[in-house]
């Protein structure tokens, strides 16, 4: 990268003082291989659990998202229905919209129902974060090139510091995953390691050494 480009792209937004963890669409429709929309995201779930454990111990806000359609004809899916199939597994009330049981979710965690890619679009996520004085959004989930990317873009547009945790996001297509991480880190978010994210959460909570990143 030349000197001009290095001053233009990929600058750090940095960590703020008050984080929240947003877990994007780790629901069974997306996390169970063999389903129409599913793929193997086991490694990213394990990394997300490390972040969940520290966030819960530190009383940082934790919010999960799930895509769910309640209209019998999927009218609430809009034009997305014309572009992507598999929505039958996202029908409200089906097990496809349930948060993956492998995740260390607690009763205090919020589940935000959304219709489209971004966790912010058409939801009250932004107002919830503002009310909790959050300035930094740590993002995990799937898919990196889709809903994770859209959420990070909207996070920075809403004035939050988006932090995408590399080991805690996944995509059904490896090339799309890698390109999305590169693009996000260049323009919309800081892409950081799991270790960096854990150290940040621990440092801000005053709890040192609670969880170590997996090898």
Catalytic residues: 147
Report the 3 state secondary structure along 120-189: CCCCCHHHHHHHCCCCEEEEEEECHHHHHHHHHHHHHHCCCEEEEEEEEEECCCHHHHHHHHHHHHHHCC
Q: Is 81 helix (H, G, I), strand (E, B) or coil?
A: helix
In 3D space, the residue among 110, 150, 143 whose CA is nearest the CA of residue 128 turns out to be 110
Check: CB of residue 112 under 8 Å from CB of residue 64: yes
Burial of residue 37 (number of CB atoms within 10 Å: 0-12, 13-18, 19+): buried
CA distance 161 to 112: 20
CA distance 63 to 139: 10
Strand partners, 138: 21, 163
């Amino acid at each position: 990268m030349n000197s001009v480009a290095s001053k233009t792209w990929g600058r750090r937004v940095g960590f703020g003082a008050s984080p929240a963890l947003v877990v994007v669409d780790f629901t069974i429709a997306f996390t169970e291989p063999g389903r129409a929309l599913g793929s193997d995201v086991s490694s990213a779930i394990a990394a997300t659990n490390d972040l969940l454990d520290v966030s819960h111990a530190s009383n940082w806000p934790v919010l999960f998202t799930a895509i769910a359609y309640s209209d019998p004809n999927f009218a609430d899916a809009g034009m997305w229905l014309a572009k992507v199939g598999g929505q039958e597994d996202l029908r409200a009330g089906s097990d496809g919209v349930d948060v993956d049981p492998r995740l260390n979710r607690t009763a205090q965690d919020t589940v935000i129902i959304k219709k489209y890619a971004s966790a912010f679009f058409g939801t009250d996520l932004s107002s919830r974060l503002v009310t909790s004085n959050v300035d930094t959004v740590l993002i995990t989930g799937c898919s990196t090139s889709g809903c994770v990317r859209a959420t990070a873009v909207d996070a920075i547009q809403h004035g939050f510091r988006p932090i995408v945790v590399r080991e805690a996001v996944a995509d059904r297509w490896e090339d799309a995953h890698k390109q999305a991480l590169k693009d996000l880190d260049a323009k919309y978010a800081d892409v950081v390691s799991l270790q960096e994210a854990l150290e940040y959460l621990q440092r801000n909570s005053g709890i040192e050494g609670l969880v170590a990143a997996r090898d």
